[in-house]
Structure 1
Amino acid sequence: MMRIPAFYRPEYAPADVPLLARLEATARKLERLGLVDLHAPPMLDPSRLTGLHDEAYLDAFLTGSEPMASRQGIPWSPRVRDATLAMLGGQLTAAKAARRHGIAMNIARGFHHAAPDCGSGYCPLNGLALLAHDAPDQRVMVIDCDEHGGNGTEEFAARLPNLYNVSIFGTRFGCRGGTRSWATQVRVREHGFQRYLDALDEAQALVDAHRPDLLVYQAGADCHEHDPKSQVGLTTAQMFTRDLYVFRMARTRRIPILFVVAGGYQQAQRVARLNANTVRAAHHAWRAAADDASTGNAPS
């Protein structure tokens, strides 16, 4: 069975920060199930952040200068800073792996609400925008299927000409669409699951129109019907369909895809199961493509 390259190190999940500590459960579950090859990425050199966030905010977060250092909603500590730099190091390393293998995973969260001048929504620094900032000659498109709209990435898309942001969400969180950014609110309990599929069709049309060099998939577990923050209200089966759609989109177009696990506010083991289902969807998409290739039906 194919194992997806996945990136994680203990610094991602400091035990005294519950929102981050739960990443350990996902990493161990994926490893135990044999779904991923787990690798420890290097910590990010902070110099690679120069010019991404505004200088005053970046300096405040790196040094712990309050109140800006805790603006994202998690009280600042050296462990929170180091967790962020570890996850960002994983983000750049996973992007390289995705370009090499076609797919890679960063077992990380806390990126898409961070705006140029401040952190927000438990997101200190924007690791989605970082991918575009770090590779200005590459078109990077984010498919953000979190419960909450990617408002921070939307702000960065207006600044970075190679960054595109597509958000499908239940809670707007300030995300309204803008320059190279498209925002669609869907609440499945009210609008039906077909409306969600229609939104994915619209995202796919944007991929075809802009032909990114890298797709970045924010596979939010907080869209699940039992998540306390969920307004999207997807069932477990519908979440699998969502994930499968995005992975097939990338696989049939031969666009490298990096995915992150993003939000999830149920008990840690429940979130880990949903994250494992996302990885299973990736396996299914890649296996189906391999089967097509073996029968002469490979995507063109």
Structure 2
Amino acid sequence: MLFYNPIYSDLALPPRHRFPILKYAKLKDRLDQSSLNKHIFLANNKASNEQLKLCHDNTYIEAFCKGTMSPPDIKRMGFPWSPELVERTLLSVGASIQAAHTALEKGFAANLSGGYHHAYADKASGFCIFNDLAVAGCDLIAKGKAETVLILDCDVHQGDGTAAILKSRADIITCSIHCEQNFPRLKELSDYDFALPTNTQDPAYLDTLEQALSLCTRLHSPDIILYNAGADIFTQDELGNFAITLAGVRRREELILSHCYHHSIPLMCALGGGYQRNLTRLVDVHEQLFQALLHSGFVH
């Protein structure tokens, strides 16, 4: 099941804003033309205050939801505050939670947004407000649906907020494969960090991924993997610094899907980052996950 809401792209941003907000609608249009269209469902479950408090300070939650954040906090968030942003955020985080529960039941699910890995317990950062995968993992465990969760973060930027929020938890394993010379400047300590140099190409990247995935699943036997499928590893990404080809992105998705399918590990995916002003090319990169999904065994 793929969860989507039109509000993902229905947010007014200033001219030439750096975040490619229209990519979600364009990806949905692309998927509507494929056999996956029957697997797309409306995401209409908002994250509750109780779910957000599993990972976030109540004072911060209230400041964001009520619009009382300070100007420096809003600047660090990267979006101008609006009631529409609150609605979009709660629906997107809720969709990641719903997708995580669905993946446990059905084997696979995805949120056609999400991957807000820079969000800390008490602050927003880098277009990330609430840390959806951290909240989803904590919610699964709080509800007794899982005992061990692996968050596999393959965005080009380190999942610093995820690492910080979950650093004291032994039941949620954090693994980040990222570019060491990229945002954030100061990295946090994940359970497993694989920091690769600028201009890393397909062979080194894919070899690292295979080793990381094998290591984490062998040592921790997770009940589910929550996967941040960042498109910003692509060589033409404007905020990336890796040299991964489109075929390399496709191979990344195939490796993860195949590993989970053949080891019977439920997999939930969120889209993560992707920063190209050429939206058609950006959607091409995000679409690799869903092209690989069609040949994975998860979809019938």
1:119-161 CA-partner distances (Å, limit 9, x unpaired): 1010000001001221224221111111111001111221333
Shift of 1:272: 1.6
- Cα separation, 2, equivalents of 1:56 and 1:174: 26
The equivalent of 2:128 in structure 1 is 123
Aligned residues of 1:103 and 1:256 also touching (Cα < 8 A): yes
Write the mapping of 1:24-43 to structure 2, written as runs, cut at 5 A. Answer: 24-36=25-37, 37-41=39-43, 42-43=45-46
CA distance in structure 2 between the aligned counterparts of 1:280 and 1:118, rounded to whole angstroms:
35
Q: Which string of whole-angstrom CA distances, capped at 9 and with x for unpartnered residues, describes residues 61-102 of structure 1?
A: 111112135541111111111111010111111112211221
TM-score by length of structure 2 reads 0.87
Following superposition, the deviation at residue 209 of structure 1 comes to 0.7
Q: Structure 1 residues 39-48 or 98-107, which shifts more?
A: 39-48
1:104 corresponds in structure 2 to: 109
Name segments (4+ residues, structure 1) moved above 4 Å.
174-177
Matches within 5 A, 1:248-287: 248-266=258-276, 267-286=278-297
**Structure 1 runs not aligned, ≥5 long:** 291-300
Percent of residue pairs identical: 27
TM-score by length of 1: 0.87
- Point out the more displaced range, 9-18 or 222-231: 9-18
2:250 is aligned to: 240
Equivalent position SS for 1:198:
helix
Q: Is the 8 A contact 2:54 2:139 kept in 1?
A: no
Instruction: Specify every segment of 5 or more residues in structure 2 that has no aligned partner in the other structure, as ranges.
Output: 14-18
Give the counterpart letter for 1:284 in structure 2: H
**Once the 2 structures are TM-superposed, how far is the Cα of residue 275 of structure 1 from its aligned partner?**
1.6
> 1:1-300 alignment to 2 at 5 Å?
5-17=1-13, 19-36=20-37, 37-41=39-43, 42-67=45-70, 68-69=73-74, 71-136=76-141, 137=144, 138=146, 139-170=148-179, 171=182, 173-174=184-185, 176=187, 178=189, 181-187=191-197, 189=199, 191-204=200-213, 205-266=215-276, 267-286=278-297
Distance 1:148 1:94, change over 3 A: same
The equivalent of 1:297 in structure 2 is: none
Listed one character per residue, the Cα deviations across residues 157-183 of structure 1 (whole Å, up to 9, x for unaligned) are 2133321111111235257463x6211
TM-superposed CA distance for 1:226, in Å, is: 0.9
1:268 to 1:153, Cα distance in 2 relative to 1, 3 A: same
Compared CA separation, residues 281 and 88, structure 1 to 2 (3 A): same
Give the structure 1 partner of residue 16 of structure 2: none
Paired residue type of 1:144: D
Spell out, residue by residue over 1:175-210, the C-alpha distance to the aligned partner (whole angstroms, 9 max, x if none).
7463x6211122473x54332123112222111110
CA distance in 2, matches of 1:44, 1:238: 34
Answer yes or no: is the 8 Å Cα contact 2:202–2:245 preserved in 1: no
Give the structure with the larger helix fraction: 1
Q: Distance in 1 between matches of 2:24 and 2:268?
A: 17
Distance 2:211 2:124 in 1: 29
Contact preservation (8 Å) 2:115, 2:228: no
Which stretch of the first structure deviates more once superposed, 126-135 or 34-43? 34-43
Bigger Cα displacement from structure 2, 47-56 vs 80-89: 47-56
For residues 176 and 115 of structure 2, what CA distance do their matches in structure 1 show? 15
